[in-house]
Amino acid sequence: MSTDKLTTVHGEALSKPDRALLGEAVRRGEDARETWESALVDYGRWLLVNVFHDDAHAALEGRHKNAVWRALVDRAGGPTLRVSEKLLEVAVRIAAHDKRINDDAWRLLEPGRKELLLPLGNERAMRDAAQRVVAMKMSQRATRTLVRQQLSAEGRASVPRTTPKRLKTQLSKFNERLTDLSARRRIESVLTKSSAEEKNELRGEVERLAAWAKDVLGKLRAKG
C-alpha cells in the first residue's frame, strides 16, 4: 500500500493542519519555480536574439568573443547586475540548444532538467538523455544521477568552465579559509602536534602549492 508523501515525514504522520500547510508550501514552491523558469527562458531567448543575433553557434561556441557578453559576465553578481554568471550561462545555453535540438522530448523538459543535461556537451547526447528522462518520468534528482553516471561511463567529469572571475573567487575563498587569525592558529596547532613524517608530507604539499603560485605569478606579471 502506497503512502502519500504529504501525510508523513520519515514515517511520522503529519497532523491535518500540518498537511494543509505543507500542501500550500509545495504549491507556492511550484508557482515560484514556474515563474523563475519562465523568466529564465525569456531572458535566454532575448540574449540569444539580441546579443548573439539569433546565432546559436555563436552563443554556444563563441560567446566569449562577444564584447557585450563579456561586459555582462564582468558585471554578473555585482551591484549593476544582480544575476550570477552561472545563470547567464544557463539561460543563453538553453536558448541556443532549444533552437538546435528538434526533438519533442527535449521540448517537454522544463528548464531545470534541461540545465542538468547541459554537461553532456553534445546535442545528440542531450537529445537521447531527454528522451530517456521523459519516457521514465525522471525527477531532477534522478536526472542528475543519470548525467553523472553517463559522464563517469565516458571517463568524463562534470567540471565547470574556469574563468578569471571564477578562479579569483576560488582563490579568495581559499585565502580566507587559511589566512584569517583563527585559521592560522588552528594550523599552527596542527603543525605543533604533527609527527616528523606528517610534517614531511605537509611540506611536500605546501611546496607544490608554492611552485604553482610562483608559476602563475610569473605568467601574470609577464602579461601585465
Per-residue pLDDT of the chain (224 residues; tens, 9 = 90+): 344 555 665 556 888 888 899 999 999 999 999 999 999 999 999 999 999 999 999 999 999 899 999 999 999 988 999 999 999 999 999 999 999 999 999 999 999 999 999 999 899 999 999 999 999 999 999 999 999 999 988 887 655 566 777 788 778 878 877 777 777 888 888 888 888 888 888 888 888 888 888 888 888 888 65
Q: Say if residue 204 is in the same domain as residue 139.
A: no
Q: Say if residue 218 is in the same domain as residue 146.
A: no
Q: For residue 191, is it within any domain? A: yes
Q: For residue 26, is it within any domain? A: no
Contact 94, 119 (CB under 8 A): no
Contact 133, 105 (CB under 8 A): yes
Domain boundary among 134, 153, 172: 153
Strand spans (E) along the chain: 8-9, 12-13
**What gap in Å lies between CA 162 and CA 29, rounded to an integer?**
32
Query: What pLDDT, on a 0 to 100 scale, did the predictor assign at position 158?
Result: 54
Q: Say if residue 77 is in the same domain as residue 146.
A: yes
- Residue whose grid cell is 557585450: 68
Contact 138, 114 (CB under 8 A): no
Could you give the C-alpha distances from 111 to 51, 95, 189, in angstroms and in order? 21, 10, 48
Cell of 52: 548573439
Whether the CA torsion 86, 92, 95, 99 is positive or negative: it is negative
How many separate domains does the chain show? 2
Q: Say if residue 145 is in the same domain as residue 203.
A: no
What is the span of the domain harbouring residue 207? 180-223
Q: For residue 78, is it within any domain? A: yes
- Residue whose grid cell is 544557463: 90
Q: For residue 193, is it within any domain? A: yes
Q: Say if residue 57 is in the same domain as residue 133.
A: yes
Query: What pLDDT, on a 0 to 100 scale, did the predictor assign at position 180?
Result: 78
Q: For residue 29, is it within any domain? A: no
- This prediction has a pTM of 0.67
Q: Say if residue 141 is in the same domain as residue 204.
A: no
Burial class (CB in 10 A: 0-12, 13-18, 19+), 15: exposed
Whether the CA torsion 202, 203, 208, 214 is positive or negative: it is positive
Q: Say if residue 119 is in the same domain as residue 195.
A: no
- Residue whose grid cell is 606528517: 198
What does the DSSP 8-state code read for residue 13? E
Q: Say if residue 148 is in the same domain as residue 184.
A: no
Query: What pLDDT, on a 0 to 100 scale, did the predictor assign at position 10?
Result: 58
